[in-house]
Amino acid sequence: MSIHLVIIDALNLIRRVHSAQPDETDIARTIDTTSRTLQRIIGEADPTHIIAVFDHHLQDRGWRAEVLPGYKARRKPMPQPLQQGLDQIQQAWWELGIDSLLSEGDEADDLVATLATKVAAHQEKVTIISTDKGYCQLLSPTLQIRDYFQQRWLDAPFIENEFGVKPTQLADYWGLTGISSSQVPGVPGIGPKAAKEILTQYPDIDSAYASDDLPAKYRKKLDEHIELARVCKQVAGLKTDIELGFNLQDIRFSGSPA
């Protein structure tokens, strides 16, 4: 039997739905809207296995903040009503047959990446439901990213059009340009155009840095900031070796357990 694992980037979906509502205290509406959204996703994707992965809202900023102390230092806290309603949301999703994986010391991104790559490595189909382009560095023939809200696939042509690089170069791209929303600084003076030019000529940051042919305008910047570029690349990357504590059989989808 072929497998199709659907992984829901839970807080990505919930925050998008919740932020569009006129009353942020109306958790019942958030539960209803997200549940209907998931039912449509299930209908479209027809998964054999499914799981929703949550960041733990009480955790610190994880290993990335240890490597780069400013990482997400200015992120907005989750609205209190939403934070208090997460258990109800998880229960409603459970009643649809969707189990939840809650991170403890790791960001949800790394849990998603680990699970997705493990399954895709066996040539089984994986769909990540998220608007987060960071997952695109995982793209493979059997691993795809679906932006449900824009009804589009975040695939290699999308990345080429959006950033001008290959999916495998995204961490290097962000290592150079930074990620403003997460307070990842990148290399001062290198923006999207320069990063694209560098990564068109070289496969990654270190290859560019090691080259005698790197244009002088970039040589000076990398000479001054190569360690920062490497740290930003590391933070922009995804871990794929997290201990998950369950197997695929545990998240087989058979509809509502009720």
pLDDT of residue 57: 60
Range list for CATH 1.10.150.20 in the chain: 164-236
67: pLDDT strictly greater than 90: yes
pLDDT of residue 230: 98
pLDDT of residue 74: 83
* 8 A C-beta contact, residue 210 and residue 153: no
pLDDT of residue 73: 86
Mean per-residue pLDDT for 25-29? 89
Give binding residues for K(+) as ranges: 176, 185, 187, 190
- The CATH class given to the 4-158+242-251 domain equals alpha beta
Mean per-residue pLDDT for 59-68? 82
Task: Please state, for a pLDDT cut of 70, what percent of the chain lies above it.
Answer: 96
Range list for CATH 3.40.50.1010 in the chain: 4-158+242-251
Give binding residues as ranges: 109, 176, 185, 187, 190
pLDDT of residue 107: 84
Q: CATH topology for 164-236?
A: DNA polymerase; domain 1 (1.10.150)
59: pLDDT strictly greater than 80: no
pLDDT of residue 66: 92
Give binding residues for Mg(2+) as ranges: 109
In whole angstroms, what is the distance from residue 52 CA to residue 93 CA? 9
